[in-house]
């Protein structure tokens, strides 16, 4: 019983808290990296024998440089993440005449922030047609069979973060992170 409880706990713990490989770190994970830089800049500027207006200008400049570095790093993180998902479709017919249309099977993005394009999909096996929704949220594989037989194929689609989502999130994350840092 103890062993079973441990396995259940481990499954829930790992499954519930594990970050998926396509997800980016939360913005506050950068706090420990950027706070010391800000503290160093702030302390150095405070020790300078210059007018307050010059100290404020230098602090704004230092903060802007840190924000720019963070935004670049954060954007690169988003752009480096992707996930490949697949869907299998098949069609079987027992009659020797005619053509059977089994329709499309779809694979969808695991998050609305992700999308795919025709150039990021591939099919292994039979391909009777593919489609990608206009917004890139899913891709489908069509399957038909003529006469007796069976056709089967698997569509693989790579999903990446939408550029507009990335740009907005990077800006929002920078604002939230540096709000925490400058408190």
Tens of pLDDT, residue by residue over 77-122, are 999 999 999 999 999 998 888 899 999 999 999 999 999 999 999 9
Q: Who contacts 136 (Cβ-Cβ below 8 Å, separation ≥6)?
A: 109, 115, 116, 117, 162
- Full-model pTM: 0.81
Average pLDDT of the chain, as a whole number:
89
Q: What is the mean pLDDT of residues 18-33?
A: 89
């Amino acid at each position: 019983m103890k062993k079973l409880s441990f396995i259940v706990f481990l499954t829930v713990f790992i499954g519930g808290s594990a970050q998926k490989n396509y997800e980016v770190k939360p913005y506050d994970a950068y706090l420990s990296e950027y706070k010391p830089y800000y503290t160093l800049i702030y302390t150095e500027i405070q020790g300078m024998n210059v007018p307050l207006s010059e100290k404020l200008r230098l602090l704004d400049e230092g903060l802007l440089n840190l924000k720019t570095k963070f935004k670049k790093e954060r954007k690169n993180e988003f752009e480096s993440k992707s996930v490949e998902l697949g869907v299998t479709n098949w069609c079987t017919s027992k009659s020797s005449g005619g053509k059977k249309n089994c329709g499309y099977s779809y694979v969808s993005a695991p998050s609305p922030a992700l999308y795919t394009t025709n150039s990021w999909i591939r099919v292994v096996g039979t391909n009777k047609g593919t489609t990608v929704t206009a917004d890139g949220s899913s891709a489908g594989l069509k399957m038909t069979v003529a006469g007796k037989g069976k056709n089967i194929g698997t569509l693989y689609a790579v999903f990446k973060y939408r550029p507009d989502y990335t740009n907005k999130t990077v800006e929002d994350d920078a604002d939230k992170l540096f709000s925490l840092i400058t408190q």
